Amino acid sequence: MKKIGFIGLGNMGAPMAANLAKAGYEVTGFDLNPVEVEGVARAASAAEAARDKDAVITMLPNGEILKSVYAQIVPAARPGAVLIDCSTVDVDSARAAHQMAQEAGLLSVDAPVSGGVGGAAAGTLTFMAGGSEQAFAAARPLFDVMGAKAVHCGPAGAGQAAKICNNMILGISMLAVCEAFALADKLGLDRQKMFDVVSTSSGSCWSINTYCPAPGVGPKSPADNDYKPGFAAELMLKDLKLSQQAAEAADAATPMGRRATELYEQFVAEGGAGKDFSAVLLKLAQSGRDG
């Protein structure tokens, strides 16, 4: 496997494609915006980027765009190619993309990622993959270049299901950490002392230990860079909405996920767009008990 097509060269896709090129793959990319990525040749269309490639990777904004792009690249892909979708989309769209690929005799994997822009640049992403064992095995060498871990979660759509559940946990836990810091502030507790206790106690979690929302506390995070997004609030809102769409379809009770969705929807509408999702601390720190 040497020739790779990469469609969607945004904040995540561009560094992922660049890492593949650095590893010696022949990468051809396409994006609706004119983007230059070091080591990546430019195609004039998605179909051109997919033509005669061993693998085609997509990183796209939503399920409707994914299905539209697959309608273009599936007919152009060579027999035996593997299609790897790293977008975060709804499970039904992921399964529809798999179906298109399967009907054309192509291997396919839905493989959304965790790790943000920093992980994409560093090549330390986690891939959550859905699809056949054969498709996952074909995609594995590329996952190993772009990330630090890849988990085969199950059949078509399982990668998206895992991503949605993971990010629902992340959204809820970040809100809990921010609420705790806001309460600690009003109780007169020093933020560093709060971190020192919680990070080594039963409240310990990734949202405080690794990605602390309080500036100057814990490891460096977007809070220390004026909340410039590593993972934007509107992307968290997108993922939370996907979790609630899936919960409704599966008749699953997710009351905390529903409330987290409402809070991030409010935060984004009130100025949180363009900020890191951890910046919700700013809103909670300023709010009274009734919000």
Last residue of a domain, one of 127, 154, 181: 154
Contacts of 40 (CB under 8 A, 6+ apart): 6, 9, 17, 18, 21, 27, 28, 29
Whether 116 and 180 share a structural domain: no
Which pLDDT does position 141 carry in this prediction?
97
Whether 114 and 37 share a structural domain: yes
Q: Is residue 81 part of a domain?
A: yes
Which pLDDT does position 46 carry in this prediction?
98
Which pLDDT does position 237 carry in this prediction?
97
| Residue numbers in the chain where pLDDT is lower than 70 | 288-291
Which pLDDT does position 275 carry in this prediction?
97
Bridge partners, residue 3, by sequence: 26
How many residues appear in the chain?
291
Bridge partners, residue 82, by sequence: 55, 107
Query: pTM here?
Result: 0.90
- DSSP run (H or E) holding 195: helix 191-198
Specify whether 3 is catalytic: no
- Residue-wise pLDDT for 141-184, tens only, equals 999 999 999 999 999 999 999 999 999 999 999 999 999 999 99
Question: Alpha carbon 214 to chain centroid distance?
Answer: 23
**How far apart (Å, rounded) are the C-alpha atoms in residues 55 and 142?**
9
Q: Is residue 75 part of a domain?
A: yes
Domain that holds residue 243: 161-286
The count of domains in the chain is 2
Which pLDDT does position 217 carry in this prediction?
96
For residue 54, report the phi and psi dihedrals to the nearest 5 degrees: -75, -30
- Residue-wise pLDDT for 97-114, tens only, equals 999 999 999 999 999 999
Q: Is residue 130 part of a domain?
A: yes
Whether 82 and 193 share a structural domain: no
Whether 107 and 218 share a structural domain: no
Catalytic residue among 163, 238, 275, 283: 163
Whether 200 and 68 share a structural domain: no
Whether 134 and 29 share a structural domain: yes
Whether 22 and 82 share a structural domain: yes
**How far apart (Å, rounded) are the C-alpha atoms in residues 78 and 176?**
48
Residue 271 belongs to domain with CATH number: 1.10.1040.10
Which pLDDT does position 77 carry in this prediction?
97
Whether 184 and 120 share a structural domain: no
Whether 137 and 67 share a structural domain: yes
Whether 177 and 150 share a structural domain: no
Residue with structure tokens 């399920």? Answer: 63
Measured between alpha carbons, how far is residue 229 from residues 166, 178, 223 in Å? 19, 16, 9
Torsion angle of the four alpha carbons 220, 223, 227, 233, in this order, in degrees rounded to the nearest 10: 100
Last residue of a domain, one of 101, 123, 154: 154
Which pLDDT does position 289 carry in this prediction?
65
226 torsion bin: left (phi>0), alpha (psi -120 to 50), beta (else): left
Whether 177 and 137 share a structural domain: no
Q: Which of 84, 59, 74 is nearest to 138 (CA)?
A: 84
Which pLDDT does position 23 carry in this prediction?
97
Contacts of 46 (CB under 8 A, 6+ apart): 7, 30, 69, 72, 73, 76
Q: Is residue 254 part of a domain?
A: yes
Whether 277 and 189 share a structural domain: yes
**How far apart (Å, rounded) are the C-alpha atoms in residues 77 and 48?**
9
Tokens coding 55: 């693998």
Give burial (CB, 10 Å; 0-12/13-18/19+) of 53.
buried
